[in-house]
Amino acid sequence: SIFPSIYYRPINPNDLDRLEQIHRDLFPIKYESEFFRSVVNGIDIVSWAAVDRSRPEDHSDELIGFVTAKFVLAKESEIDDLIHYDSSKGEETLIYILTLGVVETYRNRGIAMSLISEVIKYASGLSLCRGVYLHVIAHNNAAILLYQRLMFRCVRRLHGFYLIKHQHFDAFLFVYFINGS
């Protein structure tokens, strides 16, 4: 509609079909149905949905964007060398962003920015969480500019990280450090 009103909420089981469909449309990688079930049921995964409440009733709660993420133990992560540890407080964690997407007609309005901000806000509220990190394919300029604008730091280029249709592509590893890491 002309005046969208975007809301952010957790992803729930009613989102299953739409979530799968958007992932199929947006990503060159195939995700298993097990992944989608874990997301909608919140099993080891945290997620946020964006919806446009100004759409007609039967679409006003339909996903137009999403972010999914999971917890990783900092010392078992691939960036354990970049984390500042304080063993007196307990086990440090990180949040790893699995997927982020906004449907095409809703792009360039700051929705992805808001979704990632939700993840950062959530992570910042966890005393043992040291950061948020993710991989992005090296030619995805839109996503790379978004992470740079949000003050993520590019810490690594991983050669041949992605295998898509028998072809290897590099990835960048981006990290947003929190709670003094």
The whole-angstrom separation of Cα 115 and Cα 124 is 14
Q: Does residue 140 bind ligand ACO (CB under 6 A)?
A: yes
Instruction: Answer for the pair 19, 27: CB distance below 8 angstroms, yes or no.
Output: no
Taking CB under 6 A as the criterion, which residues in 19-38 touch ligand ACO?
Answer: 26
Structure tokens belonging to residue 39:
């997301």
DSSP string computed for 104-131: GGG-SSSHHHHHHHHHHHHHHTSTTEEE
Q: Is 134 near ligand ACO (CB under 6 A)?
A: yes
CA distances, 168 to each of 69, 77, 173 (Å):
24, 23, 16
143 near ligand ACO (CB under 6 A)? yes
The single residue among 51, 136, 171, 173 that binds ligand ACO, judged by CB under 6 A, is 136
Give the one residue of 73, 128, 145, 154 binding ligand ACO; rule: CB under 6 A: 145
One symbol per residue from 86 to 105: x for binding ligand ACO (CB under 6 A), - otherwise; what is it?
-----------x-xxxx---
Measured distance CA(147)–CA(134) in Å, rounded: 10
Asked if 175 interacts with ligand ACO (CB under 6 A), we say no
Question: Which residues of the chain form contacts with ligand ACO (CB under 6 A)?
Answer: 26, 97, 99-102, 107-113, 134, 136, 140-143, 145-146, 149
